[in-house]
Structure 1
Amino acid sequence: MKRGFRSSLLALALVAPCLAQAQTAAPAPEAPTGRIAKHSTTANQDMVAAANPLAAEAGRQILAAGGSAVDAAVAVQLVLNLVEPQSSGIGGGAFLLYWDGTKLTSLDGRETAPAAATPDRFMGPDGKPMAFYDAVVGGRSVGVPGTPRLLETARKRWGKLPWADVIAPALKLAEDGFTISPRLNGLLGQEKFLQSDALARAYFYQEDGTPKPVGTVLKNPAFAKTLREIADKGADAFYSGSIAADIVATVGRHPTNPGDMTLDDLKRYKVEEREPVCGMYRVYRVCGMAPPSSGGIAILQMLGIVEGQDLGAMKPGPEAVHWLAEAGRLAFADRALFLGDPAFVDVPVRGLTDPGYLKSRAALLGAGRSIGKAKAGEPPFQKTEFFFAPSEGIEFGTSHISIVDREGHAVSMTTTIEDGFGARLMTRSGFLLNNELTDFSFAPTEEGRPVANRVEGGKRPRSSMAPTIVFDAAGKLYAVVGSPGGSQIIPYVAKTLVALLDWKLDPQVAVDLPNFGSRNGPTELEAGTEAEGWKLEIEAKGHEVKLIDMNSGIQAVVVGADGLTGGADSRREGVAIGN
C-alpha cells in the first residue's frame, strides 16, 4: 500500500457509513411548486451547504474528522464531480474565497484559453458568430481546467488533513458506486448532445438511448484511477502525464469541432491570488470575487445603488423588485463595458465600487418609473478606454459550496463547467470537460472596436460567479453565500443578501424566495411562484416583465450567537448539514 493511502483509511472509515446512509435515505417530499420541501438546518460547530446530499455529507464528515473548511471543500467538490457531473468537476474551473479568522483571501481557478486561441475563434465562415451550441459541443469551447490546481493550492495553504484523506470520500464513491438521483436522471433525459460522445453515452445511458434509471448504481473506475494518481502525485498528475495527454486527445479528436489545447497549455496553468472586492452595505462589509469575475463588483454596485432605499420596510414584493431591478440595469450596463480579464483589460475596480459614483448612479432612478435600458456610467479612476462586451446568458453547469468550520473559518466557492454537461466530451480519465470559452464574446469587435471580453490566447473569460462572504458591524463572520446560474447569479445573490441583511429572514426562507431582477433588459420574475402576482404592479412602473424559469442553486450559511444556520436552495437537491 502506498504511504499516501495509509492515512486515507481513517477518512474512509469515518465517511463510508454516513455516505451510505445519505445514499439510501428517502428523498424529501416535493413542495407544491415542484421544489423539494426543506427546512433550515442548525449546528453548533460547523456546517456545509452543497448541491447534493452525498457531497454535503462528505464535507461534514471531513469536518468531523478535524478537517478545515478547505479540506471539506475539496471533498465536496470531488464528490460533486461524480453525483452532479452536469455542473462542475475537475474538468472545469472555480473561484474561492477563504476567511482564516483574520484575513480574507480569494483564489482564481478560472479556465484559460489555449495559447493558440484567436479572437475569431467563434466566428463562422460567413463572418457571423456561430450558433451557441455549434460552438459549445466539441473541443473548440474547452478551456484549460483550473479546479484541480485550485483545490491543491488552497489545501496546501489552509488544509489540516492529509491530501489522500480529503480525496478518499470521492474515491470510495467512484469505486463502489452511487445511485443516480432524480435530478441527474431528469437532466440526462432533457440533454440533446451528450450521447454524441461514445464514452459519455456508455456511462450515462442505456443501450436504447434512455438515461439510466433513478436508483441505478453508477460506478466510475476511470475516475477512481484518476483520483488515485492525483492523491499520489498531487495536481501535477492532472497537468502532465497520462491524464493531461488524455485531455489533449479528447479536445482534439472531435470529428467536426476540434480544439487546439496542448500539453504545454496544461503545464503552464497557474492559479491567481486576487484581492477580494469589498464594500459596505449598511453596517455590513460584503466581500466578493474580483475580475475576471464580474459578480463581486456587480453585487456591490447593486447594493450601493439601493442603499438609500428603506428595503427593510418594503419586504419582498413589487416595490423591492422595482428598486433591485433598476439597480441591476445600471450594474449590468457597467459590467458590459468595463469587465474582463485584468491581465488584458484595465478594469476600474476602485471607480466602479466608489460610494460617490454609486450615489450618482442611484440618483438616476425614481420610485415611479423604470429607466428602461441603462447606459454605462463614467466611473472615476479610469486608466484606458473600454469597449462594449455582450453578456453571456444562462447556464446550468455551475454549483456553489458554502462552508464554516469549527474555528470559524469559511469557504465560499463557486465552481463550474459552464453549460450543463460542459462541452459534452468525456475523457477516458472519467470526467467531463468544460465549455468555458463560450463565456467569451463571440464577436471580437463591436462597431469596429475591439471587445474587452474577446477571445485571446491565455486569457480568462469573464464570469458572473459571485462567491460572497459577509461580515457584521464588529467585523465578525456573518454569512457565506453563493449560487450557480450564469449571469443570473448576480441578481440571485443580491436578492439573498437583501433577504438576509434587510429582511432578516431565515437562510432557508431567503434562498427560497422567488427570484427576480433585470440584466439591463426585461425585468425577469420567476415563473410558477408568487412573483407572478407582482407582474401587473411592476408593469405599471414601466417595466417590460417576463416570467421565466430561474433555477438558482443558492447555498447560505449564517453565523449567529447560538451557532450556525444554513439553507440549501429548494430548486435543487442540495442540503445544509453540520456537526
Structure 2
Amino acid sequence: MKKVAAGVAASHPATAEAGLRVLRDGGTAADAAVAAVLACCAAETIYTGLGGGGFATYFDAGTGRATCLDFFVSVPGTDGDLEAGPMVAVDVFFGGMPQVYSIGGASVAVPGVPAGCGEVHRRWGRLPWAEVVRPAIELAAGGVAVPAAHAQTLDSCAPALAWGEGASVYTPNGRRLQGGDLLFHDGLDRALTMLAEAGPQVFYTGELATIMVDAVRTAGGCLGPQDLAGYRVLETPVDHATLAGHRVLARHDLNRTVDTIAGLPGDLSRPGRVLGVAEALRDQGRQKIGDTTNVSVVDSDGNACVITTTLGLGSGVWLPGLGINLNSMLGEGELVTDDMVPGRRMSSNMCPLVVISPEGELAVAAGSAGASRIRTALVDTLLGVLADGLDMTKAIGRPRFHVVGDTVHVEPGYPRDELGALAAAGWQINQWPGLNHYFGGVTAVGQAGAAGDPRRDGVGLLL
C-alpha cells in the first residue's frame, strides 16, 4: 500500500509554506499544523484569526488512535455583571441572495484559537513554541498578498469585514482589496510576539485578556475576565463510518458528516449513486456563507493533524493597536441554539477528519471550509479519492453539487446524465455560473497526493 507522503495543504500559499518550513525544520504534523494555523491568522483573516475558534483531529501513526479537540468558541456571560447590548445587522449578498448576519460587541463569543493551538502543540509538538509561532510573526510584520479567490470572498463579506476599524484594513483609501494587493494588520506582529513569548495564556489571563475585555465591553458585549480565565480546550468523542472499505474518523458535527457518510448508498458506482448521495446530503435550508479555513498536514512518521478554524464574518471589534478582529459567532444564526447559556460551547459544522485504510494505515487527512457546505465538500472529495480513484487535485477541483431542501445547487461541468436523473426524480436544479467558494474549500493530504481547493486558491505542498 502506498504510504502518504509528508506534506501540507492549505487555502493560501503562504500558509502552506509556513507549515512546510516547520516540517523541514524537524517539526511534527502538529507543529506544522499549528504554525500554518497561526500563519492563517496573518494571511487569511478574511476567513479566520486569533479571535476565532476551531477543531483539530490528530492521528498518531504509532498507536493508530485519532483524537479530536474542540477549541470552538464559548458563550460569554459567566461573570454575570453585564448584559450584552444589541447587535448590528448587516446584509451579505451571496449567490445573489441577501444573508442577514449580526456583528458588533454583542456577537463576540469566547475565542479558542490561541488555546487550541497551544494544546495541540503541548500534546503532539516537538519544536519549541516560539519557533512554531515565528513564521506567523514574519508574515504579520510584512503583510501578505491576497489571492484572487480570497478577494472574491471579501467582495461578499465586506459589509461585515470592512465595518468600523476593518475599513482601513480591507478597504484602504476607500478601495477594496483585490487579488495581489497586500493584506496588512498593523500591530499583529506585536500580538503574535506576545503569544510566542508568554504562551497562549496571554489571551486568557494575561495582558491581551484585559485588552480584549475592555474592547468587547466598550462595543456593547458582555465578555468578561471569568469567561476568558475559565476557557478550556475539550477532547470530544470520535465518530466513525465506513466508505469504500475505509474508516472515516471525525467529531460529531452539526451537519452530521460521519452519519451522512454512513448513509451513502452501498453501490458507489456512477452514475447510479447520484440519487442516494443527494438524499444523504439533503439539507434543511441552512446556507450561510461562513468564513472558515482548514489546514491538513502529514509528517514523515505518518502522523496527521487537521485543523479547521473560523472567525464567522468577524465582529468588527478589534483589539486596539494589535490587528486582531474578534469573532461574530453569536451573530451566526445557524449556530444559535436554544440551550446556549454562559460557559456553554457553541455548535459548529466544522469537521476535520482522517481516513484509515483497510490495512489500518493513514489514507487521507482532510478538512474543509464552507459552513453548511463543509459536509458536501468533504463527502464529494472522499468519493472522488476512495470510490472514483482520482488524484487529490482532481477530486477537490471537480464540480460539486450541494443540496438545500429539494434543490440541488450545482457547479458547471457536473455530469449531465446524473443531473438528468436528479431532475427526473423531482429535484430542482439550480445551475451556478462557475466554480464558487460557496461550495466549500477542501485541503487534503493523502495517498492520492496533496491539494488545496481552487475555489479558495488553495495549494498542496509535499516535503
Give CA-to-partner distance per residue, 1:236-286, whole Å, 9 cap, x none. 1111233122222322233xxx21111211111100011211133342111
2:160 corresponds in structure 1 to 193
Alignment of 1:219-298 (within 5 A): 219-254=184-219, 258-290=220-252, 293-295=253-255, 298=256
2:104 corresponds in structure 1 to 138
DSSP 3-state at the match of 1:413: strand
Residue 321 (structure 1) aligned to one of 257, 261, 274:
274
CA distance in 2, matches of 1:497, 1:431: 35
2:325 corresponds in structure 1 to 432
Shift of 1:82: 1.3
Alignment of 1:396-545 (within 5 A): 396-419=290-313, 422-428=314-320, 429-439=322-332, 453-519=338-404, 521-530=405-414, 534-545=418-429
CA distance in 1, matches of 2:208, 2:387: 48
- Structure 2 contact 290–312 (Cα < 8 Å) conserved: yes
Residue range with higher mean Cα deviation, 278-287 or 131-140? 131-140
- Structure 1 contact 482–556 (Cα < 8 Å) conserved: yes
CA distance in 2, matches of 1:62, 1:573: 22
DSSP 3-state at the match of 2:123: helix
Residues 1:570 and 1:457: Cα distance change in structure 2 (over 3 Å): same
Higher normalized strand content (fraction of residues): 2
CA distance in 2, matches of 1:513, 1:400: 19
Alignment of 1:20-59 (within 5 A): 45-59=5-19
- Structure 2 contact 9–16 (Cα < 8 Å) conserved: yes
Q: Does 1:303 align with 2:261?
A: yes
CA distance in 1, matches of 2:317, 2:49: 13
Q: Does 1:546 align with 2:461?
A: no
Residue range with higher mean Cα deviation, 164-173 or 185-194? 185-194
2:456 corresponds in structure 1 to 572
- Structure 1 contact 325–523 (Cα < 8 Å) conserved: no
- When the two structures are aligned, how many residues end up with a matched partner? 445
- Structure 1 contact 123–130 (Cα < 8 Å) conserved: no
Residues 1:147 and 1:138: Cα distance change in structure 2 (over 3 Å): same
CA distance in 1, matches of 2:14, 2:254: 31
- Structure 2 contact 265–277 (Cα < 8 Å) conserved: no
Shift of 1:305: 2.1
CA distance in 2, matches of 1:325, 1:74: 35
CA distance in 2, matches of 1:502, 1:218: 40
2:134 corresponds in structure 1 to 168
DSSP 3-state at the match of 2:42: helix
Give CA-to-partner distance per residue, 1:470-524, whole Å, 9 cap, x none. 00111111111111111111121111111111111111111112211324x0232
TM-score by length of 1: 0.71
Tell me the amino acid that sits aligned with residue 291 of structure 2: G
DSSP 3-state at the match of 1:554: strand
Structure 1 residues not aligned, in runs of 5+:
1-41, 334-390, 444-451
Q: Does 1:66 align with 2:51?
A: no
- Structure 2 contact 373–439 (Cα < 8 Å) conserved: no
DSSP 3-state at the match of 1:461: coil
Tell me the amino acid that sits aligned with residue 52 of structure 1: H
Tell me the amino acid that sits aligned with residue 7 of structure 2: M
- Structure 1 contact 173–219 (Cα < 8 Å) conserved: no
Shift of 1:43: 10
Residues 1:307 and 1:524: Cα distance change in structure 2 (over 3 Å): closer
Residue 93 (structure 1) aligned to one of 49, 53, 61:
53
CA distance in 2, matches of 1:141, 1:259: 7
Q: Which has the greater radius of gyration? A: 1
- Structure 2 contact 101–333 (Cα < 8 Å) conserved: no
Give CA-to-partner distance per residue, 1:58-98, whole Å, 9 cap, x none. 10010000001111111111111111101112110111000
- Structure 2 contact 399–412 (Cα < 8 Å) conserved: no
Shift of 1:463: 1.1
DSSP 3-state at the match of 1:306: coil
Tell me the amino acid that sits aligned with residue 192 of structure 1: P
Residues 1:43 and 1:395: Cα distance change in structure 2 (over 3 Å): farther
Residues 1:323 and 1:46: Cα distance change in structure 2 (over 3 Å): same
Residues 1:438 and 1:470: Cα distance change in structure 2 (over 3 Å): same
CA distance in 2, matches of 1:239, 1:58: 26
Residues 1:193 and 1:90: Cα distance change in structure 2 (over 3 Å): closer
TM-score by length of 2: 0.88
DSSP 3-state at the match of 1:530: coil
1:356 corresponds in structure 2 to none
Shift of 1:213: 5.1
CA distance in 2, matches of 1:71, 1:305: 35
- Structure 2 contact 8–298 (Cα < 8 Å) conserved: yes
Residue range with higher mean Cα deviation, 274-283 or 53-62? 274-283
Residues 1:213 and 1:306: Cα distance change in structure 2 (over 3 Å): closer
CA distance in 1, matches of 2:379, 2:292: 18
Identity of aligned residues (%): 29
Tell me the amino acid that sits aligned with residue 431 of structure 1: I
- Structure 2 contact 75–340 (Cα < 8 Å) conserved: yes
- Structure 1 contact 414–466 (Cα < 8 Å) conserved: yes
Tell me the amino acid that sits aligned with residue 192 of structure 2: L
CA distance in 1, matches of 2:386, 2:182: 42
Shift of 1:181: 3.2
CA distance in 1, matches of 2:147, 2:239: 37
- Structure 2 contact 79–227 (Cα < 8 Å) conserved: no
DSSP 3-state at the match of 2:141: helix
- Structure 1 contact 507–567 (Cα < 8 Å) conserved: yes
1:360 corresponds in structure 2 to none
- Structure 2 contact 318–326 (Cα < 8 Å) conserved: yes
Shift of 1:188: 3.7
CA distance in 1, matches of 2:368, 2:40: 15
Residue range with higher mean Cα deviation, 549-558 or 495-504? 549-558
DSSP 3-state at the match of 1:505: coil
Residues 1:507 and 1:456: Cα distance change in structure 2 (over 3 Å): same
- Structure 2 contact 23–32 (Cα < 8 Å) conserved: yes
Shift of 1:533: 7.2
DSSP 3-state at the match of 2:311: strand
Shift of 1:300: 2.5
Shift of 1:534: 4.7
CA distance in 2, matches of 1:106, 1:221: 34
